[in-house]
């Protein structure tokens, strides 16, 4: 099966670019299944029901979340009802929804697991224990194709979970920092990248207009409010890979910048 993994979607410009490019990418790479992080899709903070439905209509099968999963109160009902919309699995059990989704793709069972790290993030249960136990649960159910969106600030946390689980899962893709990394690799059949990178305004600070973070840096205050970038340059970043029986055969990173076009793709190092 061929799978697409999209990082943090930030605001309207990112949604529009995905609507334009994703059908092209799905056709070119014959993708069977697409996962995307949508917790910043609605004005940079959270995910509305309207935008959730739009992302699904563009060809995204499962939408994962993170520290902004509950920013839009309306999404709580959807988290209860719509299993293809996830929030981190190690969030409090008092919260709505789940961080695990199981389906069938190309006659193989596939599981998507959404996790959140600790450094600089809201309080959540131990991500290492949750990751270990959730993977064991899926394996005991006979599921080999396991995809993890690890939403975390610290690359060390992401890397440590990969070292713990490589050879046990199909793919771990990092989200949250909005900055794409070039460390994509396949080790013991498991794919890893510290961060896919955002889809959003390129002339920005992590998809937000630059003025507010600059003022915060200059003054040390939070009086300037973040707003989604209105940059004419919008970046699209995505991982495409092929996986079967829980092992990844190949993977590459795709990048596109509006006004520039497609950039050279980066192949995953196979170890």
Catalytic-residue membership of 68: yes
- For 144, the token pair is 């080999």
Buried-exposed string 78-103: b where 16+ CB fall within 10 A, e elsewhere: bbeebebbbbbbbbeeeeebbbbbee
| Catalytic member of 51, 56, 68, 178 | 68
* Nearest Cα to Cα of residue 49 among 25, 33, 71: 71
From its phi and psi, is residue 67 left (phi > 0), alpha (psi between -120 and 50) or beta?
alpha
Radius of gyration from C-alpha coordinates of the chain: 17
What Cα–Cα distance (Å) separates residue 173 from each residue in 71, 195, 244?
A: 23, 6, 17
List the catalytic residues: 68
């Amino acid at each position: 099966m061929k799978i697409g993994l999209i990082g943090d979607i930030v605001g309207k410009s990112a949604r529009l670019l995905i609507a334009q490019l994703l059908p092209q990418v799905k056709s070119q790479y014959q993708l069977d299944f697409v996962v995307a992080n949508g917790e910043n899709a609605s004005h940079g903070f959270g995910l509305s029901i309207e935008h959730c439905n739009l992302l699904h209509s563009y060809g995204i099968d499962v939408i994962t979340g993170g520290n902004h999963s509950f920013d839009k109160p309306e999404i709580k009902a959807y988290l209860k009802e719509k299993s293809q919309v996830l929030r981190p699995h190690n969030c409090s059990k008092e919260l709505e929804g789940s961080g695990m989704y199981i389906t069938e793709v190309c006659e193989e069972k596939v599981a998507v697991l959404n996790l959140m790290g600790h450094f600089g993030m809201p309080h959540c249960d131990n991500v290492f224990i949750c990751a270990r136990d959730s993977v064991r649960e899926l394996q005991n159910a006979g599921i080999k194709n396991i995809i993890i969106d690890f939403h975390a600030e610290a690359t060390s946390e992401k890397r440590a979970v990969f070292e713990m689980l490589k050879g046990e899962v199909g793919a771990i893709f990092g989200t949250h920092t909005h900055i794409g990394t070039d460390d994509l690799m396949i080790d013991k059949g498991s794919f890893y990248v510290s961060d896919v990178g955002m889809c959003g305004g390129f002339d920005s600070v992590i998809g937000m207009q630059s003025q507010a973070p600059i003022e915060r840096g200059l003054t040390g205050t939070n009086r300037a409010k973040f707003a989604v970038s209105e940059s004419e340059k919008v970046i699209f970043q995505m991982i495409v890979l092929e996986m079967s029986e829980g092992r990844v055969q190949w993977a590459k990173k795709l990048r596109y910048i509006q006004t520039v076009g497609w950039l050279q793709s980066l192949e995953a190092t196979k170890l």
